[in-house]
Structure 1
Amino acid sequence: MKKRWLGTSLTVLLSLSMLAGCGGTAPGASESPEPSNTPAANETPKQDKPFAGQSLSIVTANHPWGEAIVPLIPEFEEATGMKVKVESYFEDQLTQKLTVQFTASSATPDVFMYRPLQEGRLFFKNGWVSPLDEYVNRNADYDFDDISKAALGTTTVAGKIAGIPIITEQEVLYYRKDLLEKANIQVPKTMDELVAAAKQLHDPKNEMYGFVSRGQRSPLVTQLSSFIYSEGGDFMDGEKATINSPAAIKAMTTYGTLLKDYGPPGVLNMSWPQAFGIFAQGKVAFLTDANSLYTNLTDPEKSTVSEHVGFAAFPAGDAGSKPYNVTAWGLAINANSKNKEAAWAFIEWATGKEIVLKQQQKGNPGARGSVWNDPEATKSYPPQLVEVTKEAMAGGVDHDRPVVISVGEARDAVGEIVMKIMTGEQDIQAAADKANETLQAIIDKDFKK
């Protein structure tokens, strides 16, 4: 049965293919043999499959999105006539492989999965990705405007669309419904209310802790980001470092104090697995982190408090509730690909409404507003989490770390301030000023013309 995507989408692609047969080759498309005027009776006419005979190479991360897309690829091959080869790698291996191949100007892979906030600026600056601006509005049925603007902000570099979002994340507040009900505490809506509630529920003598989140220097930065935005700050203002601003210092003080005063033992060494792990053991009242990790708390096989987990919007600071709303993973086209038209056909299919719905049914949160509003796409999610996610997607900030090339160095500089707070440093302004100088040096290096 033909899928909805095969309608207008393939009509557009077919016109490009026919254009190539009339004396020109569509940009980036491989030339194909002249079609026979009299195809065999048992043969599908070539114009029905505009990429018949072409091969496409795709590289994905070992990620649930990649696992879910592989069984769907045969329908794409049947519709287009092309053959798709998929390779998968662990995250660090993926980055290493792509860097080696792109440095060597390899034409493969044609399409690749990447982390826009981690390596997006580097790939773009080095000319390794092909901007997609000319493709995204070709087909009205693709409905490019349906994709979250903040998610697209994550994949946009220097005003160019470098990739299309496939996995999004928003920071939310996880809480124990039973503990709040027993203590007659309302779900915190502001930073002050969160601090007060964490203090009230903190009972270390009975191994109950008020708050947990990432405490390691580099990992904590992504979750700290929403605190900074909600107080009216940011890591940078253009090419100027701003982590020593009053808003940033207030946010970092709140985050660091929550962990220091109401966090569990060893929180300085916690990234997300440890933070979620201790919450799942029933020892923490509040946790802030990405919504995409929720099954670690709601799966009875992983969590002793699965039936007691609540979800709430990120607490508001002086500037309101401004959680990050980012693209964790995107799809991009290799700038040296010889099959750019075919590559875009795959991305258009893989990020269209029908496939995003199927992906979301598998637990892979996409960037399309219409899909989040479709009950079929969200029926496996906790209803409370769906509403919180939709609220965050309506606004939110498109980055969760400094947007630079040297991401690791920048995260360490920011995280150092929070570490000082957590270990009892008194002069936080001085620590922030020093870290700001470090971040500014990184920005100056990375943005050097």
Structure 2
Amino acid sequence: MGVEVGRRSFFVVAGLLGLAACGSNTGRGGSTDGTLRHWYHAYGEDGVQDAVRRYAAAYPGAKVEVQWNPGDYDSKIVTALQTSAVPDVFEAQVKVDWVRQKQVVPLDDVLGDTRDDFVRALLESQTVDGHLYGIPQAIDTQVLYYRRSLLEKAGVTPPRSVDELVDAAKRLTAGGVKGLFAGNDGGVGVLTAPLLWSAGLDFLSQDGKAPGFDDPRAATVFGKLRELNPSLLLGAPADWSDPGAFVDGLAAMQWTGLWNLPKILAAHGDDVGVLPFPRLDASGAESVPVGAYSAMVNARSADVAAAKAYVKWLWVEKTDYQTEFATAFGAHLPARTSLAAQAGPLRDGPGKQIVEFVTRGGRIASPARWSARANTALSDAVSRIARQGAEPVGELRAALEVARDEIARLDR
């Protein structure tokens, strides 16, 4: 869009969020020709795939092959780490199990004197037992987009509480347009964390030693998702991460990523408003999830040292590639404060507001100590509450038991 976020604004965001060597073959199998395999999930923005292939081709230290992975990328990574030396390098968010099972390698020595240039909260989210396992690539967040004209026509004010969101979605559902789109699963995947935060809760307690949703307010707030259900768009041509439902007028509001801001503004211009996820009540908080895929190294790689050297070159040394990756294919914030002046359409309008949301209420969306099994148990419980009308207290009791077992397992 040709505009840039102010450097001062991004330093504030970073602050409030908490803000190569050569080697020999390790003999672990995998490629025997020195080729490094680098996996990415399938980004929705045009140009990203061509860019990362261009970066790989420019690497002087080795031949690098990029694999683009549509579909369920996260499950594919889990399987690959258990059984294969491929990929050598991949993007993900670190999990404690990967560390404890020695499936990924520490990257503490990769950052060098650039460590303080990375947003601190992002590094902390990729740190387990005091060691860093991922180099953040760019910062993403999610917000609530709405059509100003449709709210005005329905006599609806932008919702600042969960009850107001439920009411707005109901009143905006008319004439073939649904009030809200938050994914074809009815919002379970992307709204579980914001709902917890809206009630002043979280996945884990502050010390990480207990579930953070062992509270009656969790049942209350997940019951609100059930109230939202009749006003939610389901069966959209693309899921929540794509702006198509909102751009095409299928929903008056959509929960989706900052990365879609350019497409949404191109479609609707000044008719676009943005909001953080609203608070449940005065004891809760407005929030937006903040996260970043990070570059990680497979411990089974045929040449771990070579893989680390490539990660250092791409995500530490090549600041021009890092800037392009974060800003040229959609709206993202760079993972490094020194690159903030290059950020995309975030100097004014909705983009500036979203930066302010991150400043005030950015929350790490995927804690490393929150295990996949615990997440599945909670997601399944929330789905039954929202989609099947299940009783919230009993559903959450079962999810709490799984979460406690997982926390105890990780602490052994």
TM tier, shorter chain?
A: 0.7 to 0.9
Structure 1 residue 153 and structure 2 residue 128: aligned?
Answer: no
Show the 5 A alignment for 1:15-164: 29-30=23-24, 55=34, 57-64=36-43, 65-77=48-60, 82-90=61-69, 102-103=81-82, 106=85, 109-110=87-88, 112-116=89-93, 120-136=95-111, 138-139=112-113, 143-164=114-135
CA contact (8 A) 2:377 2:399 kept: no
Task: Quote the Cα distance in structure 2 between the aligned partners of 1:209 and 1:30.
Answer: 58
Structure 1 residue 257 and structure 2 residue 227: aligned?
Answer: yes
**1:60 Cα deviation from its structure 2 partner:** 1.7
Residue 14 (structure 2) aligns with: none
- 1:240-298, CA deviations, whole angstroms, 9 ceiling, x for partnerless residues? 234341332233122332223x324x47x998359954433324222223323446645
Select 2:176's aligned residue among 207, 232, 254: 207
| Amino acid paired to 1:220 | V
CA contact (8 A) 1:299 1:306 kept: yes
Rg: which structure is higher?
Answer: 1
Task: Quote the Cα distance in structure 1 between the aligned partners of 2:336 and 2:392.
Answer: 41
Task: Quote the Cα distance in structure 2 between the aligned partners of 1:421 and 1:151.
Answer: 31
Residue 355 (structure 1) aligns with: 321
| Amino acid paired to 2:375 | A
CA contact (8 A) 1:171 1:288 kept: yes
Residue 231 (structure 1) aligns with: 199
SS at match of 1:292: helix
SS at match of 1:214: coil
Task: Quote the Cα distance in structure 1 between the aligned partners of 2:339 and 2:169.
Answer: 31
C-alpha distance 134-247 of structure 1, shift in aligned 2 (>3 A): farther
Structure 1 residue 378 and structure 2 residue 341: aligned?
Answer: no
Select 2:278's aligned residue among 290, 298, 315: 315
Residue 38 (structure 1) aligns with: none
**1:127 Cα deviation from its structure 2 partner:** 0.8
**1:424 Cα deviation from its structure 2 partner:** 3.5
- Compare relative contact order (CA 8 Å, sep 6+) and give the higher one, 1 or 2: 2
Task: Quote the Cα distance in structure 2 between the aligned partners of 1:440 and 1:235.
Answer: 11
C-alpha distance 158-144 of structure 1, shift in aligned 2 (>3 A): same
CA contact (8 A) 2:182 2:240 kept: no
- 1:377-396, CA deviations, whole angstroms, 9 ceiling, x for partnerless residues? 314x6943432442344352
Identity %: 19
Residue 180 (structure 1) aligns with: 151
**1:367 Cα deviation from its structure 2 partner:** 4.0
SS at match of 2:108: coil
SS at match of 2:249: coil
C-alpha distance 104-174 of structure 1, shift in aligned 2 (>3 A): closer
- 1:62-103, CA deviations, whole angstroms, 9 ceiling, x for partnerless residues? 5344531221345442xxxx2232230425686677667655
Structure 1 residue 222 and structure 2 residue 216: aligned?
Answer: no
| Amino acid paired to 1:358 | E
Structure 2 alignment gaps of length 5 or more: 1-19, 26-32
**1:147 Cα deviation from its structure 2 partner:** 2.3
Task: Quote the Cα distance in structure 1 between the aligned partners of 2:246 and 2:322.
Answer: 30
| Amino acid paired to 1:208 | V
**1:342 Cα deviation from its structure 2 partner:** 4.5
Task: Quote the Cα distance in structure 1 between the aligned partners of 2:115 and 2:49.
Answer: 22
Task: Quote the Cα distance in structure 1 between the aligned partners of 2:181 and 2:72.
Answer: 30
CA contact (8 A) 1:325 1:393 kept: yes
| Amino acid paired to 1:83 | A
CA contact (8 A) 1:402 1:411 kept: no
TM-score normalised over the length of structure 1: 0.69
Task: Quote the Cα distance in structure 2 between the aligned partners of 1:342 and 1:92.
Answer: 28
Task: Quote the Cα distance in structure 1 between the aligned partners of 2:347 and 2:232.
Answer: 26
Select 2:162's aligned residue among 191, 201, 207: 191
SS at match of 1:174: strand
Task: Quote the Cα distance in structure 1 between the aligned partners of 2:182 and 2:38.
Answer: 32
| Amino acid paired to 2:65 | V
**1:113 Cα deviation from its structure 2 partner:** 1.6
Residue 14 (structure 1) aligns with: none
Task: Quote the Cα distance in structure 2 between the aligned partners of 1:330 and 1:273.
Answer: 22
Residue 46 (structure 1) aligns with: none
Residue 325 (structure 1) aligns with: 290
TM-score normalised over the length of structure 2: 0.75
CA contact (8 A) 1:168 1:325 kept: yes
- 1:347-397, CA deviations, whole angstroms, 9 ceiling, x for partnerless residues? 2332243222111212273542536742x4314x69434324423443522
- 1:286-331, CA deviations, whole angstroms, 9 ceiling, x for partnerless residues? 222332344664564xxxx57633323332343322322112x221
C-alpha distance 209-294 of structure 1, shift in aligned 2 (>3 A): same
- 1:37-61, CA deviations, whole angstroms, 9 ceiling, x for partnerless residues? xxxxxxxxxxxxxxxxx95613122
C-alpha distance 243-402 of structure 1, shift in aligned 2 (>3 A): farther
Structure 1 alignment gaps of length 5 or more: 1-25, 32-53
CA contact (8 A) 1:226 1:322 kept: yes
How many residues matched?
374
Show the 5 A alignment for 1:236-315: 236-237=204-205, 238-260=208-230, 262-264=231-233, 266=234, 272-273=239-240, 276-294=243-261, 297-298=264-265, 300=267, 308-315=271-278
C-alpha distance 99-412 of structure 1, shift in aligned 2 (>3 A): closer
SS at match of 1:331: strand
C-alpha distance 388-158 of structure 1, shift in aligned 2 (>3 A): farther
Select 1:391's aligned residue among 352, 356, 366: 356
